[in-house]
Structure 1
C-alpha cells in the first residue's frame, strides 16, 4: 500500500500563504471567507464567527462579518482560515524517575577525649556600654522604577467605493469601531499627498479621476435633457 500523506498542520492565525490564496480568490471573483480568533461582544460576534473578505492590503484584511452591516479592518494575526482553533499539542510525558540506591551508613567516629575545663577569665565588656563602637547604617538599594506599558498600536484604514464615497475607520489595539465615518474626497486626496507614498497616491488618484469623469458625463447628459425640456416648453407656449 502507498504511504499516507501527512496533513499540513493548521496555523493559529493567517499565514503569508493564506493571504496569497485569499487575494487570488478575490482576483478571480470567488468568495473568500475567514474566521475571527476573538469575540467582539459589542458587535454580537463570537469567537469563530465567519467574515467575508472585502480587500487585502499588506497584512491588513478588511472583512464584513456575518450579521454586521459594516466593513472592519483586521490584522492577519487576528484571523484564522478555519472556524475552529487548531488543537494544542499534548505536553511531553515526563520520564519516570529512577529510585536512588540506598546509601550505606558511615562508620561511627571515635568519641574524642573530654577537654579540660577552661580557666575563667575576666568578663568581656558588653557592646551596649558607652565605649561600644557604633555600627555603620546599612544602605538599602533603591527600588527600580517599573517601566510604563507601551502605547497600544493604532491602525487607520481609508477606503472608497465606485460611487466616490470615502470612509475612514480606526482600530486601537484589539478594540473595533462600531461604524466607519465618512470623509470628503478632497480630504482623502490631501491626506494621501501628504503621506508621500507614490503607490497609494496613484491608486487614490485613479479612483478620484474616474469619479470626476463620471460626474462630468452626468452633467452633460442632464444639460442635454434640460435643453430638450426647454424647447418642448417653448413649443407648448407658442401653441
Structure 2
C-alpha cells in the first residue's frame, strides 16, 4: 500500500472497531472542529469512519484563534481535533469535558521553494536567518498556532521586523504551497505536512534547536449529547487504519 494514498489506506477498517462501535451506539451527527492542518487526514478518514460506525461527521476546519473564538462563542460542537494551544485558553478549556485530552497527531516545521528553484542552506540557525533575510517574500499563516511559532522563531533570530515586510499572509494552510508554486512568494514556511504539494519542493526542516512539533489533540465537548459517538471517533483516530492515514499525510500519530 502506497504511503501517499491516505484515502486508500483508510478503507481498510478493523473488524474490532466496527463491532465495538456500531453494535452499541445509535447513529449520530457529530459536529467536529479541527485544525486547518488536519484537513487532509480528517477528510480522508471521515467516510471510512461513517461507514464503520453509522455516524455522520460535519467538520469545520479553522485556525487556532478562530477555533478559540468559535468555542467561546457558544457555537454547538461535539468533539475537537485541534492544536493543543486551544486548551491554553481558560474560557475555551472550560467548554470541554473534564479529564485528559487525547493526542492524535504531531508535525514539525519546514521550508519550501518553487519546484526547480535553488534551495537555500537552512541547516543551522545562522544559515536559516541568512536565507530568510535574502528571500524577497515568504508565505505563511501568522494567525494560527503554527504561525505564532514561526513568528516566535523570527523573533529568536532577531529578524521579526524585517520579516513583517516580506510576509505574504495566506488565508489557510493549504494556500501556502500554491502561493510558492505560482511564484507569489519565494519561500513557504509552515508545518511540513501542508507544504507537500505539486509545484514545490521541500528545502528541509527547521534547524534542530529551532525545531518544534505542533501537537493536535482531541477532546469531547462538556455539553454534547453525543458523548459516546464523540469518544468513538477519538478511539477510531487511534486505530491502526487511522494512524496509517495520518502517517501518509505527513504527520506522526499520537
Query: Which range, TM-score by smaller chain?
Result: under 0.3
Bigger relative contact order, structure 1 or 2, given CA contacts below 8 A and separation 6+? 2
TM-score (norm 2): 0.19
More strand by percentage: 2
Q: Which has the larger radius of gyration?
A: 1
More helix by percentage: 2
TM-score (norm 1): 0.20
